[in-house]
Amino acid sequence: MIELKGIDREFIVGDQTVHALQDVSLTVAPGDYLSIMGPSGSGKSTLLNVIGLLDRPTRGAYKLDNQEVTALSDDELASTRQTKIGFIFQFFQLLPRLTAIENVELPMLLAGMDPRERSQRARAVLESLAILDRASHRPDQLSGGQQQRVAIARATVMRPSVILADEPTGNLDRHSSGEVVAILEQLNQQGMSLIVVTHDPEIGRRAVRQIRMVDGRIEQDS
């Protein structure tokens, strides 16, 4: 459960204050499927970063699963991200020196999980995404679609309650895009909240709830 109330985010660029988010209020229930669309610079990514605890709002209240997170320390934010939030990026952000399965194990490794359990869970997730046969390949030996599937496996292996995807199909061809969106929707049906930031209206329209942002404000929420 995500509850944002009156969120402002201001950046100081030179001697000017840029209002990236202005008075944003948003509630996302467990299992929701949202798309956030809007022109460049409208605050989509900033909103996603605030929700993902990578950025702190200048003003406003943010409750994640009934816990006020605006006052948490950096380390508390890190451990909250670890267990509750899965990130999916436009450029996949896989570590090129690690194999696919090692990339998927990375969040569990950071959490200090037992190696055997780590490997079991990673294999299970890779299998459910139909890329277990690529487990020992390095990212540069995988296609874009396969890389994004490994990244989705990494984002979901800790069983987060929310998946935040920033332009997940921005770097993929039509066919792979379709596959990736289908996988994300499948995960959403399993109960994870899904928030997708996208430029692509076709993908945006698939979401149950569509949010349109302009100049740091939510203009439309359906």
Partner 1 sequence: MRAFDVLYYTWSALSRHRLRTLLMLVAMMIGVAAIIVLTALGEGARRYVINEFASLGTNLVIVLPGKSETRGHSPSVFVGETPRDLTNDDAVTLLRIPGVKRIAPLVVGSATVSWEGVERESPILGSSSSLLQLRHWKLAAGHFLPDVDFDQAAPVCVIGNTIKRELFGATNPVGQWLRIGDRRFRVIGVIASEGRSIGMDVQDLVITPVASAQAIFNTPSLFRILVEAKTRDVVPFVIDEITDLIKRRHQGEEDITIITQDAILSTFDKILSALTYAVAGIAAISLAVAGILIMNIMLVSIAQRTAEIGLLKALGASQHKIVVLFLTEATLLASLGALSGLLLGVLANTVIRHVYPAFPASAPLWAMIGAAGIAMLTGLIFGAMPARRAAQLNPIEALAHK
Return residues touching partner 1 (CB under 8 A). 49, 52, 54-55, 74-75, 78-83, 87, 89, 93, 95-98, 102, 106-107, 109-112, 115, 154, 158
Q: Which is nearer to partner 1, 21 or 210 (CB)?
A: 21
Q: Shortest distance, CB of residue 169 to partner 1, whole angstroms?
A: 18
Q: Shortest distance, CB of residue 208 to partner 1, whole angstroms?
A: 26
Q: Which long-range contacts (CB under 8 A, 24 or more apart) does 181-190 make?
A: 181/206, 183/129, 183/149, 183/152, 184/88, 184/152, 185/33, 187/152, 187/156, 187/163, 188/31, 188/33, 188/163
Which single residue is written with the structure tokens 């209206």? 201
How far, rounded to the nearest angstrom, does the alpha carbon of residue 139 sit from its chain's CA centroid? 20
Phi, psi of 93 (to 5 degrees): 55, 40
Q: Which is nearer to partner 1, 98 or 178 (CB)?
A: 98
Q: Which is nearer to partner 1, 1 or 98 (CB)?
A: 98
Q: Shortest distance, CB of residue 183 to partner 1, whole angstroms?
A: 19
Q: Which is nearer to partner 1, 107 or 204 (CB)?
A: 107
Q: Shortest distance, CB of residue 20 to partner 1, whole angstroms?
A: 11
